[in-house]
Structure 1
């Protein structure tokens, strides 16, 4: 059985970035930047980025989206999106 890891997709000033949380591994974790822009990377772009990092989305896993307010006390403040999903190591899946 493959060990599952958590992949996170976040938006920052430099654009969207995807990284995989690998416990016990040194930081930085495997990461892929999508470059500047506000458009959310497509499912295909995310899958290709995961593959490039050596991971695949776990069977049955879905992307979960959460929004965070820059100032929770101000409903007009900017909102940041964070997405996450479970992934497997391609090396472990193929073993």
Structure 2
């Protein structure tokens, strides 16, 4: 089993997203933070919806990206305020984080 541990984060993109694909409205996006360019981080985007993806949907997304939860890892949630440069009033955002590890070759 891989000893590398990374942090995965997930948040609601309130105005949609342009990368890796354009979405027509708010959507949840999960990415694995690693070294290098942010544009090259493994990213999963759910279809436009404000409904929080279920634990199973999050696990399936991580598996598709080639990652699984690290041993004893649990999702942690934090409320923070969104950036003031958006064209709408500042909102409270929900940010989910969890420790992940690469899956063994061929496990994804």
TM-score, structure 2 length as denominator?
0.73
What's the offset of the Cα at 1:27?
A: 3.4
Matches for 1:40-51 after TM superposition, within 5 Å: 40-51=52-63
For 2:57 and 2:102, locate their aligned partners in 1 and report how far apart those are by CA, in whole Å. 18
CA deviation profile, 1:3-47 (whole Å, cap 9, x unmatched):
100000011122000000122467320000012111000000000
Would you identify which runs of 4 or more consecutive aligned residues in structure 1 move more than 6 Å?
none
Q: Which runs of no fewer than 5 residues in structure 1 stay unpaired?
A: 72-76
- Structure 2 SS opposite 1:6: strand
What's the offset of the Cα at 1:91?
A: 2.6
* Count of aligned pairs: 90
TM-score, structure 1 length as denominator?
0.82
For 2:55 and 2:40, locate their aligned partners in 1 and report how far apart those are by CA, in whole Å. 24
Q: Which runs of no fewer than 5 residues in structure 2 stay unpaired?
A: 17-26, 84-89
More strand per residue: 1
Q: Please, what is the CA RMSD of the aligned residues?
A: 2.4
